Amino acid sequence: MLETRAIAIADRLDSVTTALHRGEITAICGPNGAGKSTLLSALAGLLPADKGEVLLEGTVLSALPPRDRAKAIGYLPQSGEVAWDVSVANLVALGRLPHGDQGKFAVANAMAATAMSDFATRPVSTLSGGEKARALLARVLAGEPRWILADEPLAALDLSHQLGLLKVLRAQADSGVGVVLVVHDLALAMNHANRVLVLDSGRLKADSAPEEALSLDIIHEVWGVKARWLGEPGQRALVTQD
């Protein structure tokens, strides 16, 4: 379990308490500036809280040795910057650094899962935005973490690769990995998440199954938009109204 206990970060998060579980996809949603990326960074142990604490499987996250934390949590930031123009295979292999081995099978499996095997020898600088996003996710997968925390991993992808990556992340969750995603597309959260956290001005507005967390009342209250859901469960579309 990955949990926060009343964590607060000045001007960004206000007493957020939640407990996330492995084997689930959790979507963090909210308007711009709601604190989504801040919460994800805190869950990854990259941003210390002014108050409260983050626990990983019962242990205060900040008390874990950095290597142990890196083995347990794979973090994919929103920016996706790569400092050196290495090949895709070498970039993905960096995910094995916390383990101190090359993990050739893990690297190969990660590239196959993200449809990047054919790009193994390509320099990262030659990749499109969507290809780079997939390569960076492969780097996370190569580390075989127990938790995957990804900040808007679908934003740079076309529809086909969005669905492909969601399939990969679902397979990870089904294998017992905890998957936590910052998502702007409410329909994707509704259709693919087991659970949704809705943040509004740094406060946790909803924390429940997608049907409850993304109810029309909450969407109206948090996003200021009148809308309605169309379609069957798992295939919902959100239509806004004037």
pLDDT digits over 222-236, tens only? 999 999 999 988 899
Query: In whole angstroms, what separates CA 84 from the centre of its chain?
Result: 24
pTM: 0.92
As a whole number, mean pLDDT of residues 151-171 equals: 87
List residues bridging with 18 in a β-sheet. Answer: 4
Q: How far apart are CA 89 and CA 117, in angstroms?
A: 8
Confidence of residue 242 (pLDDT cuts 50, 70, 90): low
Query: Measured between alpha carbons, how far is 95 from 91 in angstroms, rounded to an integer?
Result: 8
Kindly report, residue by residue over 107-125, the tens digit of the pLDDT: 999 999 999 999 999 999 9
Distance CA 22, CA 9 (A): 25
2-241: which CATH topology? Rossmann fold (3.40.50)
State mean pLDDT over 127-134.
Answer: 86
Looking up tokens 């347990």 gives 72
Rounded to whole angstroms, how far apart are CA atoms 174 and 217? 31
pLDDT of the residue at 82 = 76
SS3 of the chain: helix, strand, coil, percent, to 5: 40, 30, 35
- Whether the CB-CB separation of 196 and 147 falls below 8 Å is answered with no
Domain ranges of the chain: 2-241
- Residue 237 vs residues 144, 173, 195, 231, 233: alpha-carbon distances, Å: 33, 23, 17, 6, 10
Long-range contacts of 157-164 (CB under 8 A, 24+ apart): 157/130, 157/133, 158/130, 161/115, 161/130, 161/134, 162/188, 164/114, 164/115
What is the length of the chain?
Answer: 242
- Alpha helices for 7-127 (secondary structure H): 36-43, 66-72, 88-93, 104-113
* Four-residue CA torsion sign, 168, 75, 148, 84: positive
- CA–CA distance, 92 with 135 (Å, rounded to integer): 7
173: pLDDT strictly greater than 80: yes
